[in-house]
Amino acid sequence: MSRAETVGIIGAGRFGTALGSVLARAHRRVILWSRDPAIVDAIQTTRRCPRLPEAPLPEPLAATADPRVLAAEARFLVMAVSSTNVRERARELGNFLDGSHIVVHAIGAFATPSSDPAARSDGAPREIGRVSEVVAQGLPTLKIGALAGPALPADLVAGEYASMVIASAFDEVVAEGRRLLNAPPQLRLYSTKDLVGVELASALSGAYTVALGLCDGLGMGVGPRAVLITRAVAESSRLGQASGAEPRTFAGLAGLGNLLVRAGGSATPGVRSVDYELGRRLAEGIVTADAQRTEGARAAIAGAELAAKLRVRMPVLSGVAAVLSGRAEPREVAALLGDTVAVEE
């Protein structure tokens, strides 16, 4: 198969491996890149990745630790690394990519702030980094997008139906993503041009997952939980609109879809995310050190800062950020749900 028909996946973590498995099983050629030669060896010899051993990785999938091979073999790349590593990985791979590559990230979080004071300013806000902005700083290509939605690695491996949304300002990125990643009936891709909305919605859903963990930890019941979810969609939509995004994106796969899956449900016990568990621990009065913060916790603090800057009222998000920063007690935040000024929904 040609380079145009190949999907490169950056990062052999759980999601990258699961996506590679789905695509390979749909007879798509995949090249999976990992920095760790041991993981590459394991995939090549056992057709399994140690980080997700339950996922079969059939023959159309190859693994490499050489970024040159990745860049030469695939033009379309999915970046599936941790938000704490994205800056470094982008810079590292940028040495081997060029202006023709398409890079779509699958990171549902804000990027950690740069320690590089020389980072170029091109008019975009610098303080709180959307991942696509950080990726753009490290890569030569401008054709960048985001992939988000409630597609859990466990579901993908198990062959469950999954949907994601791909977003980019470039039609070509979206079209290529849908052409190469669609693997019906198991994985279907929706598309949008609202890159800002998808990234914000996806990152903030982590923050609201912490809030849902808090809510459940406090034993607040189904009603308040429903209110919390709907208020989360409403206030994140407002923040999105103030940031230039489309409000409806926040009720879509990247926003509401992500929130529902991360906070788990009775049908899927055991898939609740670390953000949700963090919320539960906070409710129990267990204080979490900064270093142990999850992506959702960081998103809550960063999102609250952005809301303050854009003067968007976000009582739920600000409340979660206050608990995480030690400025409020969990019970006080729970009260915020009943404390919001009754206005038009």
Partner 1 sequence: MASDRPVREAENRLEHFNADRERLLAEVERRVVARRVAESKLGGDASLEYVLNDVAFSEIKRLEASRQKNGALDRWKDLSRRLMAMSEPDKEQELRDLVRYYGRDVVGNFDPRVYKFATGIGPSLLNTLFSPTTAFRQGFGVLGNLDQRIHPDGEVELAHRCAERGTVIITPTHSSNMDSPAIGFALMRAGLPPTTYGAGKNLFTNPFISFFMRNLGAYRVDRRLRFELYKDVLKEYSTVLLEHGYHSLFFPGGTRSRSNMIEKHLKLGLLGTSVTAYKNMVREGHANRRLYVVPATINYRLVLEAETLIDDYLAETGKSRFIITDDEFSRVGRIVEFFRKILAHEGSVVVRFGRPFDPFGNDITDDGESIDRAGRQVDPATFVRGASGEVTDDDQRDAEYTRALGRRLSAVYPKLTVFHSTHLVARALYDEVARRAGTRDIYRLMRVAQSAIPKADALAAIDRLRARIAANPAWGAEHPGFVNQASADKLADGVKGLSTFHTRVAVEERGDSLYASDIKLVYYYQNRTAHIPVESSS
**CB of 92 or CB of 277, closer to partner 1:** 92
- Residues in touch with partner 1 (CB under 8 A): 2-4, 75, 91, 94-95, 98-100, 120-123, 136-143, 169-172
Report the nearest approach of partner 1 to the CB of residue 197 (Å): 17
CB of residue 97 to partner 1, shortest distance in Å = 9
Residue closer to partner 1 by CB (options 50, 244) is 244
Closer CB to partner 1, 137 or 236, in the complex: 137
Phi, psi of 79 (to 5 degrees): -95, 110
Q: State the minimum distance, in angstroms, from the CB of residue 110 to partner 1.
A: 19
Nearer to partner 1, 136 or 162 (CB): 136
Residue count of the chain, please give it.
Answer: 345
Kindly state the smallest distance separating residue 85's Cβ from partner 1, in Å.
16
Whole-angstrom distance, CA of residue 224 vs CA of residue 229:
9
Nearest to 339 by CA among 315, 317, 311, 318: 315
Question: How many other CB atoms are found less than 10 A from the CB of residue 125?
Answer: 13
Identify the DSSP state of 256. Answer: I
Residues 279, 276: Cα–Cα separation, whole Å: 5
Look up tokens 């009222």; give the residue.
313
**Least distance CB 318 / partner 1 (angstroms):** 24
In the complex, what is the shortest distance from the CB of residue 328 to partner 1, in angstroms, rounded to a whole number? 29
Encoded amino acid at 288, one letter = T
Distances (CA, A) of 49 to 60, 63, 69: 15, 10, 19
Nearer to partner 1, 93 or 333 (CB): 93
Of 16 and 138, which has the nearer Cβ to partner 1? 138
Look at residues 93, 86, 143, 87 and name the one whose alpha carbon lies nearest to residue 119: 87
| 4 DSSP 8-state letter | G
C-alpha span between 180 and 189 (Å, rounded): 10
* Pair of tokens at residue 35: 């920095």
The SS3 of residue 79 is strand
Nearer to partner 1, 75 or 262 (CB): 75
